Structure 1
């Protein structure tokens, strides 16, 4: 009987020891996984798709230093790839346009828009034309573009496609397929749209106002050949959206810490990479207008 009791006690002690070891190992594993966790972020390639890594590295450096975590930039070849990487968890943070941000948040429950550039809350698009068309700047929508060879940027671009199409549809009461008498194109990026219109390859196009103004200032665009013929009303656009898995990777409350770090960013290199002077807090509701426009714009025949 005594032998049985001793065995039971030893068995209990062994189980307790094993349980203690298991808890310790689980704690060590959790601690290790958090310390090894990496925040991977990307950005839509709205300009010069070959230089993304160099352009956005300062953002990774800033967040790594500010938050004390590992941060890596992951390039995306096109707008759709940025959303796919976010949906698949390959990236957990992304600098999206208004449309791609909505797409990403619709695909990932719990995803949150954190910040935009201060100017992004009043963004706008330019309709531009080659001066060979004879068009000039107007306060009203330029109906004459219907007979021109016209190009958008990316089909998923907020300022280079979706919002310009929204205003086109409002002004004409027609879809692009019915409005344009010639087949329209998609250049893939804002700077490419500007380049094609400047060269006369396309007679007119739509792009974000910042890219056009930068092109004129740098001399890449000839203001005697490529002019603004109409600017759209303003709308909310670019944003930094975060994946909810970050709360698991770095602990509860991390998204708020990340938002604060971005809002407080005064690092010239990081802000320069985003081409913004200041970042401001936003939420998903900020882009409800974009979501409603997306439901109306359809390029399928």
Structure 2
């Protein structure tokens, strides 16, 4: 491929990867999809492509829709919990974060909720909310009418809004929230911990690694009890491949997170969805296949001292 064509593609790669991640909820799948788009770009008659980035956006979006349809078919009868792949604050794959809608669209809560949308609803929601495409442009990308695009967006917004309206926090805010959670969870006072939760707070884990099994906490009291049992001081001397585990505070997908780290390896994390200053949901992720990119970013970034040196 000539250098100009390669440069054209690489200039748009970060935006394409962010689009694919929002649609698929997986950084690894997003990277594979963008690479597939690159191969199609190589094979295309580029002299006939008037707007390369628009062409590539269409290719990536439709490749993602194909993957979503295939995944939906495979998972129709699957048991267990499927959570999106978490990304550390500062990861370029998180994409645009200038507006509240852009930041919210990449939260774990919204990415999880999008599992309930059809592939077209998901695509329209992401293209409109995160990338500000017009309905005319979306219609061209998806080969649908503008009216259909508007209907898909209306249904997607209604479903997301009915279940989610979270807070976005910065690093300082994340540390305060995680410290308060840890102190309450290790205090032995359940009511102190429950006071940090909304009345409908729930927690869910992927059941891998540190958690050993899938855990679903349908009430604040059960979530608090599970947190106390897990973080009991008598259980702190866990060891991992890289040695004892330190507990850090960070920001993951725009939300505060408790990050368990052994050396430079992230062993697991809990991401807190906040609503009006309280914890509305807790997402536990420990599956190694979901933590590879986050571990890489963690080792490359500077970070504050741990809240607990050895858990």
TM-score normalized with structure 2 length: 0.24
By relative contact order (CA 8 Å, sep 6+), the higher-ranking structure is 1
Structure having the higher Rg: 1
